[in-house]
């Protein structure tokens, strides 16, 4: 098998989509490379008190405990205020950019349901019926916007409810990308459904690779050398992820170097959907 790498981008906020994604499309076009974008169609935040407390932390320090930059330091005051106060819907109201992603040859997968924060907090306790309603909300917007039906799914914050594979298959999905582990390779069920792990990871596997290492104080050289080291580990399939509003705005230079390193090491840069045809 050829060697494949997927650059995966999770679109969690309207800034990701409006400001990060267009930069990423341009960059990938320059290398004739394709990736997978997981889009949240609904809203980022929930206004319940519990989550508001959590969000307060995003306004305080520059870095959070788990090795991410706070939203405030990534987005600035105006964008953070928009995100929190208006809490706009994400994919549901940005048809043109979503069509641009497809027009550039990338894959558009679905990232959760109506609300990213509520999925993160509650999805593991939801009934099958509730999970289907959430997935159907996302699929409804794909249909309304006349986008190709997605085959790849990723749960917000990796919070994958037990048994979601069965529900995803009912809705035409064939790929789930909810694991992170440096040693995992894709795992294909007898049914053909494939679990794709994110396996090029920072110190906190559930955080974006570049964002995590940068927040931990790595220099560009150190980030790239860690990336190279992980590309040389066993297995013909790699996946690395970040968020468009971080890497697509603040770290385009290092991303272009990661693309060049991948190519120089013989990797084909592809979407999960295209890679799945070779597994």
Nearer to Zn ion by Cβ, of 68 and 174: the residue is: 68
165 lines the binding site for Zn ion (CB under 5 A): no
Q: How far is the CB of 222 from Zn ion (least distance, A)?
A: 26
**Residue number with the shortest CB distance to Zn ion?**
12
Q: How far is the CB of 220 from Zn ion (least distance, A)?
A: 25
Nearer to Zn ion by Cβ, of 3 and 89: the residue is: 89
For 49-83, b/e burial (b = at least 16 CB within 10 A) is eebeeebeebeeeeebeebbbbbbbbbeeebbeeb
10 lines the binding site for Zn ion (CB under 5 A): yes
For Zn ion (CB under 5 A), the number of binding residues is 3
113 lines the binding site for Zn ion (CB under 5 A): no
Q: How far is the CB of 40 from Zn ion (least distance, A)?
A: 7
Among 45-53, 94-102, 154-162, 262-270, which window interacts with Zn ion (CB under 5 A)?
154-162
242 lines the binding site for Zn ion (CB under 5 A): no
Binding residue for Zn ion, selected from 156, 161, 197, 205, defined by CB under 5 A: 156
244 lines the binding site for Zn ion (CB under 5 A): no
Nearer to Zn ion by Cβ, of 12 and 242: the residue is: 12
Kindly list the residues in this chain that would bind Zn ion in the complex (CB under 5 A): 10, 12, 156
């Amino acid at each position: 098998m050829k060697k494949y790498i997927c650059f995966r981008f999770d679109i969690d906020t309207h800034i990701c989509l409006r400001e990060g994604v267009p930069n990423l499309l341009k960059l990938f076009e320059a290398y004739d490379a394709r990736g997978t974008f997981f889009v949240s169609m609904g809203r980022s935040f929930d206004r319940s008190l519990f989550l508001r407390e959590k969000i307060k932390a995003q306004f305080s320090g520059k870095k959070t405990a788990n090795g991410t930059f706070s939203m405030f330091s990534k987005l600035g005051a105006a964008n953070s205020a928009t995100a929190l106060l208006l809490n706009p819907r994400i994919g549901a109201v940005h048809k043109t950019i979503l069509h641009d992603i497809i027009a550039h040859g990338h894959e558009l997968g679905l990232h959760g349901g109506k609300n990213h924060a509520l999925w993160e907090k509650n999805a593991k306790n939801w009934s099958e019926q509730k999970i289907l309603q959430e997935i159907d909300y996302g699929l409804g917007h794909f249909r309304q916007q006349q986008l190709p039906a997605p085959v790849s799914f990723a749960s917000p914050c990796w919070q994958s409810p037990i048994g979601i594979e069965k529900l995803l298959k009912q809705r035409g999905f064939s790929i789930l990308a909810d694991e992170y582990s440096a040693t995992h390779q894709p795992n294909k069920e007898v049914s053909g459904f494939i679990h794709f792990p994110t396996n090029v990871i920072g110190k906190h596997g559930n955080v974006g690779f570049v964002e995590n290492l940068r927040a931990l104080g790595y220099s560009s050289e150190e980030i790239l050398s860690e990336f190279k080291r992980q590309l040389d580990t066993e297995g013909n399939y790699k996946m690395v992820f970040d968020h468009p509003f971080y890497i697509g705005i603040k770290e385009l230079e290092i991303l272009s170097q990661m693309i060049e390193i991948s190519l120089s090491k013989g990797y084909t840069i592809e979407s999960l959907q295209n890679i799945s045809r070779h597994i």
